[in-house]
């Protein structure tokens, strides 16, 4: 379904699912697609809506319209609502009706949201004075932030090659780097007595990742980081790791520019994947794990930074 989408457009749908789960919604609505769009196309919406922080502004409007019951775990697959499906059809129609677009991008998704008249997202956008004609005019002036126009640099979705060829091994080695080394510990405070107090590293960030059942402390060491992991419950994967192996090296994380491309390549090479699709991790990153049997006995984590990652880092 998303083969013709740019990477940014696919992330819009990914983040829409995340937003729907945070609002406890049973399906992904147009308002969730709008929030996903604000995460991935903030500069575009900022210019067209004339607001400085579109994600914050639009979230306020969505919260006014929605009750927020108990959150749903992001591992639950949520269907698209009828209006949300219409948005995707409208976006495809925008793509097919214009010769200068190479892929379906965030611009087409925005136009699709505006064409779904009467739906929540269209109503919110019109409250900010954004009509379909005004959006078309702004995008036509080059106020979009995608790379989906024909003749410009672009990258295919899912990493299935940016038009002519897949990245070579040499190219991969220059775009990947060690993100962090994960160390499991029964008690974060005990581990910090060594890494922070004795060794002298500074704690850059702490966070509880509910979905993975861990409390995390990140300590930068030059570019990469040491990531200390304390389980928050007995059913946490880290708790089971500690019970079986005790404290120590839990995983090695590699930062990749396109996590779906990396997963597709590994799958093609016969690697055993724990996560066939990326999920949300600490700091707003997209993450996926590769089974130790395919990585010489080491649990490998793939990490892709997103705009949400940069927002999280700027708030620290």
The chain-wide mean pLDDT, for the chain, equals 82
2 in a structural domain: no
Strands 279-280 and 286-290: antiparallel
Q: Are residues 231 and 136 in the same domain?
A: no
Q: Which domain holds residue 279?
A: 169-314
Q: Has residue 79 got a pLDDT over 80? A: yes
Which pTM does this prediction carry?
0.49
* Structure confidence by residue, pLDDT tens digits, 278-288: 888 877 788 99
Of 112, 132, 158, which closes a domain? 158
Contact 275, 300 (CB under 8 A): no
* Structure confidence by residue, pLDDT tens digits, 112-123: 999 999 999 999
Quote the distance between the C-alpha of residue 98 and its chain's center.
Answer: 28
Q: Are residues 15 and 148 in the same domain?
A: yes
Query: What is the domain-level CATH number for residue 195?
Result: 3.10.180.10
If one compares 74 and 265, the residue with the highest pLDDT of the two is 265
289 in a structural domain: yes
Q: Are residues 177 and 213 in the same domain?
A: yes
For residue 195, give the DSSP letter.
I
| b/e code 131-170 from CB counts within 10 Å (16+ = b) | ebeebeebbeeeebbbebbeeeebbbbbbeeeeeeebeee
Q: How far is CA 258 from CA 23, 51, 92, 276, in A?
A: 28, 30, 23, 14
For residue 272, give the DSSP letter.
P
């Amino acid at each position: 379904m998303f083969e013709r989408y740019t990477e940014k457009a696919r992330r819009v749908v990914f983040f829409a699912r995340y937003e729907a789960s945070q609002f406890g919604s049973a399906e992904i609505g147009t308002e969730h697609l709008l929030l996903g769009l604000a995460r991935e196309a903030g500069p575009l919406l900022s210019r067209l809506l004339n607001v400085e922080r579109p994600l914050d502004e639009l979230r306020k409007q969505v919260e006014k319209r929605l009750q927020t019951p108990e959150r749903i775990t992001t591992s639950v697959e949520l269907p698209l609502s009828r209006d949300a499906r219409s948005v995707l059809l409208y976006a495809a129609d925008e793509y097919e009706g214009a010769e200068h677009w190479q892929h379906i991008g965030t611009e087409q998704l925005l136009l699709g949201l505006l064409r779904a008249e009467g739906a929540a997202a269209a109503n919110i956008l019109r409250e900010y004075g954004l009509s379909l004609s005004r959006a078309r005019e702004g995008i036509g002036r080059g106020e979009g932030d995608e790379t989906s126009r024909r003749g410009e640099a672009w990258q295919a979705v899912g990493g299935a090659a940016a038009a002519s060829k897949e990245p070579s091994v040499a190219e991969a080695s220059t775009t990947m780097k060690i993100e962090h080394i994960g160390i499991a510990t029964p008690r974060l405070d005990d581990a910090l007595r060594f890494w922070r107090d004795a060794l002298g590293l500074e704690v850059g960030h702490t966070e509880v990742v509910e979905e993975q059942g861990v409390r995390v402390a990140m300590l930068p060491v030059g570019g990469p980081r040491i990531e200390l992991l304390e389980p928050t419950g007995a059913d946490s994967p880290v708790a089971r790791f500690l019970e079986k192996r005790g404290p120590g090296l839990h995983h090695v994380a590699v930062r990749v520019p396109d996590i779906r491309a990396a997963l597709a390549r590994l799958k093609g090479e016969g690697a055993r994947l724990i996560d066939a699709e990326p999920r949300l991790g600490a700091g707003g990153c997209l993450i996926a794990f590769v089974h130790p049997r395919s990585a010489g006995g080491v649990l490998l984590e793939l990490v892709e930074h997103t705009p949400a990652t940069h927002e999280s880092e700027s708030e620290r």
